[in-house]
Amino acid sequence: LLAMPGLALANADLESKMANPKNWAAQAGDMFNQRYSKLNQINKDNVGKMQVAWMFSTGVLRGHEGSPLVIDGMMYVHSPFPNKVFAIDLDTQKIVWRYEPKQDPFVISQMCCDTVYRGLAYAEGKIFLQQADSTLLALDAKSGKVLWSVVNGDPKLGAVNTQAPHVFGNKVITGISGGEWGVRGFLAAYDINTGKQVWKGYSTGPDAEMLMDPEKTMTWTDGKMAPVGKDSSLKTWQGDQWKTGGGTTWGWFSYDKATNMVYYGTGNPSTWNPTQRPGDNKWSMTIFARDLDTGVAKWVYQMTPHDEWDFDGVNEMILADIDVKGKPTKALVHFDRNGFAYTLDRVTGELLVAEKYDPKVNWASHVDMKTGRPQVVAKYSTSKHTNPEHGPDVNVKGICPAALGTKDQQPAAFDPNTKLFYVPTNHVCMDYEPFEVDYVAGQPYVGATLSMFPAPDSHGGMGNFITWDASAGKIVQSKSEKFSVWSGVLNTAGGISCYGTLEGYLKCVDAKDITKELFKFKTPSGIIGNVFSYEHKGKQYLGVFSGIGGWAGIGMAASLEKDTDGLGAVGGYRELSQYTELGGSLTVFALPD
Ligand X SMILES: O=C(O)c1cc(C(=O)O)c2c(n1)C(=O)C(=O)c1cc(C(=O)O)[nH]c1-2
Using the rule CB under 6 A, give the single segment among 44-52, 112-120, 186-194, 252-260 that binds ligand X: 112-120
Among 292, 220, 224, 217, smallest CA distance to 253 is for 292
Kindly identify the residues of this chain, within the stretch 565-584, that bind a copy of itself according to CB under 8 A: 577-584
Nearer to a copy of itself, 269 or 553 (CB): 553
Task: Answer yes or no whether residue 408 interacts with ligand X by CB under 6 A.
Answer: yes
Out of 377, 477, 521, 565, the residue judged to bind a copy of itself by CB under 8 A: 521
Nearer to a copy of itself, 96 or 157 (CB): 96
Taking the CB of residue 252, how many other CB atoms lie within 10 A of it?
Answer: 27
How many residues of this chain interact with ligand X, rule: CB under 6 A?
21
Task: Answer yes or no whether residue 49 interacts with a copy of itself by CB under 8 A.
Answer: yes
Nearer to a copy of itself, 215 or 581 (CB): 581
CB 380 within 8 A of CB 397: no
Task: Answer yes or no whether residue 83 interacts with a copy of itself by CB under 8 A.
Answer: no
Report the nearest approach of ligand X to the CB of residue 446 (Å). Answer: 10
Q: For residue 129, which amino acid is it?
A: L
Task: Answer yes or no whether residue 394 interacts with a copy of itself by CB under 8 A.
Answer: no
Q: For residue 89, which amino acid is it?
A: D
* Binding-site partner at residue 65 among ligand X, a copy of itself, none, CB < 5 to 8 Å by type: ligand X
User: What per-residue string of b and e applies to 187-208 under the rule 16 or more CB within 10 Å gives b?
Assistant: bbbbbbbebeebbbbbbbbebe
Which helix (DSSP H) or strand (DSSP E) does residue 414 occupy? Answer: strand 413-415
* Binding-site partner at residue 579 among a copy of itself, ligand X, none, CB < 5 to 8 Å by type: a copy of itself
Nearer to a copy of itself, 463 or 583 (CB): 583
Out of 32, 56, 181, 363, the residue judged to bind a copy of itself by CB under 8 A: 56
Distance CA 526, CA 545 (A): 9
End-to-end CA distance of the chain: 49
Out of 178, 547, 572, 583, the residue judged to bind ligand X by CB under 6 A: 178
Distance CA 592, CA 569 (A): 40
Task: Answer yes or no whether residue 280 interacts with ligand X by CB under 6 A.
Answer: no
* Binding-site partner at residue 404 among a copy of itself, ligand X, none, CB < 5 to 8 Å by type: ligand X
Among 254, 356, 255, smallest CA distance to 314 is for 254
Distance CA 487, CA 507 (A): 11
Distance CA 254, CA 319 (A): 7
Task: Answer yes or no whether residue 591 interacts with a copy of itself by CB under 8 A.
Answer: no
Q: What angle do CA 198, 202, 206 make, to 5 degrees?
A: 115
Judge whether 256 counts as a catalytic residue: no
Which helix (DSSP H) or strand (DSSP E) does residue 97 occupy? Answer: strand 95-99
Distance CA 149, CA 402 (A): 38
Task: Answer yes or no whether residue 522 interacts with a copy of itself by CB under 8 A.
Answer: yes
Task: Answer yes or no whether residue 404 interacts with ligand X by CB under 6 A.
Answer: yes
Active-site residue (options: 114, 133, 280, 310): 310
Distance CA 466, CA 459 (A): 14
Report the nearest approach of a copy of itself to the CB of residue 186 (Å). Answer: 34
Binding site for ligand X (CB under 6 A): 65, 112-114, 116, 162, 177-180, 248, 250, 267-268, 310, 312, 404, 408-409, 550-551
